Every structure is written in structure tokens, then in C-alpha cells.
Structure 1
């Protein structure tokens, strides 16, 4: 069983680490909003890395954000 203090610490790690929020922003946000934002960040990272499920996979000509693909985009931009 996880303690209240451990859960609070975990939420602070998500807010301040994964999401890049300040401590005050994290403390002023509800627990459900922190978890929802965390899930959104995970989905974003999966999409950028080409690991998202079919329901969240971008449609069209988008390719996974591999180093080679990112460099190719920057080269095209000049």
C-alpha cells in the first residue's frame, strides 16, 4: 500500500519533472489534472517516437521523429 506522502511525492515528480511545472503550479493543480496531463505527455512522447497506438497515430505522411527525420526537416528549412 502506498502512503499519502509517497503519492504526494510521486505527483510532485510528475508535475515538476515530466511536465516541467514549477512547484507552485504543481501544488495548485488537482491530482486528477496532474495525472491527465501526465497521460497526455506520455501519449505525446509515444507519438513523437512512433510508438503510439492506432487510435492516436497521426494520419498522412508523418514519420516517427527519429534523429535522421528531424535532421532532414532542419536541412530542408535551411
Structure 2
């Protein structure tokens, strides 16, 4: 799962998630894996990622940074299915 990076455009509705992404970035910078995992779980519970054809991505990690960039990676199978 390589990381993809891009500049992002914040659309209406993003503002409510900004504190969560800020907290995630802080946790990663401080190497606080437990806090970063909590943020990851909250992001995955609140948001979805879709492919250009509109089909959902089974698993993803998303980081949106305060500088207007984002990094993400995704997998087309659930991690639970892969680990069985």
C-alpha cells in the first residue's frame, strides 16, 4: 500500500473534521501510536473513500495536513479478510 500525495481543496463539510486531522498529525509527529490509532478509527468511522467509478474502497488511511496537502493509501480488500 504505497502512499499517494496531493494538494487538496477543502469543501463544505470539512471544517467539522479539521480538529481530528490536526490531532492525528500531532500524534504522528509525536510518535504517539495509540493516539494516532484512535484518530484513524474515528476517521474511518466518519468518512468513506471511493474510487473514481464511485465504488467504495475497503480499507484506507487518510492524512490531511494543515498545509493543504494530503497523503493516503488504500487497499481493495478488508484487512480482516486479508488476515484470515
Question: If the TM-score is normalised by the length of the shorter chain, which range does it land in?
Answer: under 0.3
**Going by fraction, where is helix more abundant, 1 or 2?**
1
TM-score, length basis structure 1: 0.26
**Going by fraction, where is strand more abundant, 1 or 2?**
2
* Larger Rg, first or second structure (1 or 2): 1
TM-score, length basis structure 2: 0.25
